[in-house]
Structure 1
Amino acid sequence: MNKRLFSVLTAILMAVGMIGLSSLVVKADMPTDVKLTTEQQEEMKSLQQDALNQKKEIINKYVEYGVFSKEKGQKVITHLEERYKKLEQNEFVPNFHDDYKKHRSKES
């Protein structure tokens, strides 16, 4: 691997690491008792549905182009749909605290 490629990959990994660390700080600062109004929930529902549909379209393109197998694509889409249902159950307020705890328990 040449030095330029190595430098670029190192820079990307460092940037991703910094984003990950900053998201932990944001999660710690998030209030846990937020309630959205019905109007706010409807707006978030519409935005989240649009995002879900766009992500599904992207995954399906990856399957079409051979980046993912059909099985892998379906697994990713199922995961995205489960995350959407969880968000819907929580009235479209993200619950980063539970996600962080679950992630941390997998690492142990």
Structure 2
Amino acid sequence: MKKKGFLILLAAALFFTVGPQQMSAGEFHEDWKQVELTEPQKKELAEIHSSILEQKKTLIDKYVEFGVISKEKRETIKKHLDKGYAQLEDNEFIPKHPHSNKKKK
């Protein structure tokens, strides 16, 4: 029994000391900032995002139909979704992560 406990502690110690290296949010998103999309790529992404937006709106309508959320909440959510799509258009469909800079180390 003592041997089993010792092995568990040893495994935990190894995990925390040799565990996977984490990269900062800035390192992860640096590659995205350097990409320039072609017009056909932008058009393809626009079509996909537009389809996703319409599906999300359909889903929100179903939640209203089933009484899960109110009609007022639906309008708020749809405005938020439209705002997000407009931001994607402004950024030429390259996602920007405004929250990744919140915690600078």
TM-score by length of 2: 0.67
Instruction: Could you tell me which runs of 5 or more consecutive residues in structure 1 were left unpaired when the two chains were aligned.
Output: 1-21
Following superposition of structure 1 onto structure 2, how do residues 15-94 of structure 1 map, counting pairs within 5 Å?
28-30=27-29, 31=31, 32-94=33-95
Distance 2:26 2:51 in 1: 24
| TM superposition shift of 1:28 | 4.2
- 1:28/1:70 CA distance change after superposition, 3 Å: farther
User: Residues of 2 paired with 1:27 and 1:79: CA distance?
Assistant: 26
Query: Deviations along 1:12-69, whole A, 9 cap, x unmatched?
Result: xxxxxxxxxx9x9677412222211101000000000000000000001001111000
Distance 1:28 1:83 in 2: 24
- Could you list the runs of 5+ residues in structure 2 that have no partner in the other structure? 1-21
Which one scores higher on RCO, CA 8 angstroms, separation ≥ 6? 2
Cα distance change, pair 100–26 in 1 and its aligned pair in 2 (3 A) = closer
Q: Tell me if structure 1 keeps the 8 A contact 2:64–2:70.
A: yes
- Residue 12 of structure 1: aligned partner: none
Structure possessing the higher radius of gyration over alpha carbons: 2
| Identity score, percent | 36
Q: CA RMSD in A?
A: 2.3
TM, length-normalised to structure 1 = 0.65
More helix by share: 1
Residues 85, 71 of structure 1: alpha-carbon distance in 2 compared, 3 angstrom cutoff: same
Match of 2:100 in 1: 100
